[in-house]
């Protein structure tokens, strides 16, 4: 099968399309023919090996000292190609979407994963590309907002509202009944309004923290807001959540939460299959959607990484792996 292999850690050019062995499945595992995968900011950080200082060494040992041990990529949508002994949730031919997480392997024509893993049937009415992107953005947004205890009537500010996590967070905060202020640049205003934001602040022109408004929760989804900048306008008892914290913040957060009157969250609740099912249910009910930017062909994985790395995508970027298959090379 074809797969994208990283010859070492480094710039997008390290990613090359190569022929590798198709994965074999064991008892309890599924084989998926991948139709779409994704490129996220996190994928670029892993490719460059830009890791938090405390995790650098353990992650380098886990992921490969000189180059990644595995095929990269964490999200897939595709069709079940084969089921291992003992599997009962899925059948050959089922369209599915799955999160590979730290097992990686998504940049390939086929992936194997345990049936008990983070896999659900593809939401009805979604393309494979739209379905592939729901995991990183949707699960993280849901996990952080849930941990922050967002409820009806809360005032929530989503910083970096136009990214993967941000576009899901705006929609999920609205579903939870919050009043949502979205911080993004002017060029993303209309799409952010279309997914339900009540107020939009252009971060290039206005400082949200300079206004009088106080928030029950501020969620910095891109790590570009300052912790103390945002904490100033979180109300007493409120929460500041940060998906991409700086090293200093990981040291300070537990102390602020313990001794201060505001809580700092740096991790979401643990990913559960029920969360993925919840996202599917919301999508099928027409309440949640994937905001799509570009879809690249599989052969252009390096270009997709280059684009995502610029840090200005709108929502999500997918990669159509199926384009290889349609050329009869699977």
Ligand X SMILES: NC(=O)c1ccc[n+]([C@@H]2O[C@H](COP(=O)([O-])OP(=O)(O)OC[C@H]3O[C@@H](n4cnc5c(N)ncnc54)[C@H](OP(=O)(O)O)[C@@H]3O)[C@@H](O)[C@H]2O)c1
Provide, rounded to whole angstroms, the least separation between the CB of residue 239 and ligand X.
15
Nearer to ligand X, 37 or 322 (CB): 37
> Nearer Cβ to ligand X, position 14 or 139?
139
Angle subtended at Cα 98 by Cα 4 and Cα 164, rounded to the nearest 5 degrees = 80
Q: Is 311 in the site for ligand X (CB under 6 A)?
A: yes
The DSSP string of 78-129 is EEEEEE-TT--S--TT-EEEEE-GGG---SBSEEEEETTSEEEEPPTT--HH
Q: What's the min distance (Å) between Cβ of 303 and ligand X? A: 16
Among 4, 119, 183, 279, binds ligand X (CB under 6 A): 183
Q: What is the DSSP string of 201-255?
A: EETTT--GGGSS--EEEEEESSS-S-HHHHHTTEEEEEEEEESS--HHHHHHHHH
- Tokens 């991948």: give the residue: 34
Q: How far is Cα 316 from Cα 294, in angstroms, rounded to an integer?
A: 7
Could you tell me which stretch among 31-39, 86-94, 146-154, 309-317 binds ligand X (CB under 6 A)? 309-317
Provide the minimum distance between the beta carbon of 328 and ligand X in the complex, in angstroms, as a whole number.
34
Smaller CB distance to ligand X: residue 42 or 149? 42
Give me the 6-45 binding string for ligand X, x by CB under 6 A, dash otherwise: ----------------------------------xxx--x
Q: Rule CB under 6 A: is residue 244 a binding residue for ligand X?
A: yes
Q: Pick from 144, 173, 175, 139: which is nearest to 156 by CA?
A: 173
Residue 86 in the binding site for ligand X (CB under 6 A):
no
Q: Which of 166, 156, 215 is nearest to 195 (CA)?
A: 166
When binding is defined by CB under 6 A, the residue of 25, 313, 319, 324 that contacts ligand X is 313
One residue of 4, 136, 180, 192 binding ligand X per CB under 6 A = 136
Q: What is the SS3 assignment for 76?
A: strand
Mention every residue, 6+ apart, whose C-beta is less than 8 A from residue 320. Answer: 35, 36, 128, 129, 295, 296, 297, 298
Asked if 272 is part of the footprint of ligand X (rule: CB under 6 A), the reply reads: no
Considering only residues 140 to 169 of the shown chain, the ones binding ligand X according to CB under 6 A are 140, 159-160, 162-166
Give the 3-state secondary structure of 254-304: HHHHHHCCCEEECCCCCCCHHHHHHHHHHHHCCCCCCCEEEEEEHHHHHHH
Using the contact rule CB under 6 A, the part of the chain among 64-72, 119-127, 178-186, 320-328 near ligand X is: 178-186
Window 273 to 292, contacts with ligand X (CB under 6 A):
none
Nearer to ligand X, 55 or 92 (CB): 55
Q: Is 73 in the site for ligand X (CB under 6 A)?
A: no
184 binds ligand X (CB under 6 A): yes
Site string for ligand X, 195-234 (x = CB under 6 A): --------x-----------------xxxx----------
What is the chain's Cα-based Rg?
20
- Residue 197 class from Cβ within 10 Å (0-12 exposed, 13-18 middle, 19+ buried)? buried
Measured from the CB atom, is 109 or 309 closer to ligand X? 309
Which residues are at the interface with ligand X (CB under 6 A)?
Answer: 40-42, 45, 136, 140, 159-160, 162-166, 183-185, 188, 203, 221-224, 243-244, 267-268, 311-314
């Amino acid at each position: 099968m074809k797969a994208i292999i990283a010859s070492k850690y480094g710039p997008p050019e390290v990613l090359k399309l190569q022929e590798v062995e198709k994965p074999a499945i064991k008892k309890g595992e599924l084989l998926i023919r991948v139709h779409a995968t994704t490129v996220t900011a996190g994928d670029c950080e892993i490719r460059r090996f830009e890791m938090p200082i405390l995790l650098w060494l353990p992650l380098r040992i886990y992921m490969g000292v000189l180059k990644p041990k595995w095929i990269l990529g964490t999200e897939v949508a595709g069709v079940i190609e084969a089921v291992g002994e003992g599997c009962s949730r899925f059948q050959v031919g089922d369209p599915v979407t799955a999160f590979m997480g730290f097992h990686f392997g998504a940049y390939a024509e086929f992936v194997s994963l345990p049936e008990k893993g983070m896999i659900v049937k593809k939401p009805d009415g979604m393309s494979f590309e739209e379905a592939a992107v729901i995991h990183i953005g949707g699960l993280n947004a849901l996990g952080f907002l849930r941990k922050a205890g967002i409820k009806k009537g809360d005032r929530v500010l989503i910083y970096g509202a136009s990214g993967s996590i941000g576009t899901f967070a705006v929609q999920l905060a609205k579903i939870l009944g919050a009043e949502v202020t979205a911080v993004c640049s002017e060029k993303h205003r209309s799409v952010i309004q279309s997914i339900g934001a009540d107020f939009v602040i252009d971060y290039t022109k206005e400082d949200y923290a300079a206004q009088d408004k106080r928030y029950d929760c501020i969620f910095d989804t891109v790590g570009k807001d300052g912790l103390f900048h945002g904490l100033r306008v979180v109300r007493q008892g409120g929460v500041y959540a940060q998906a991409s914290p700086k090293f200093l913040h990981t040291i300070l957060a537990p102390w602020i939460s313990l001794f201060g009157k505001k809580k700092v969250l740096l991790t979401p609740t643990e990913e559960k299959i029920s969360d993925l099912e919840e996202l599917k249910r919301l999508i099928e009910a027409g309440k949640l959607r994937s905001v799509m930017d570009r879809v690249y062909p599989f052969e252009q994985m390096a270009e997709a990484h280059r684009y995502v790395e610029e840090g200005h995508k709108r929502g999500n970027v997918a990669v159509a792996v199926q384009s290889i298959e349609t050329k009869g090379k699977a």
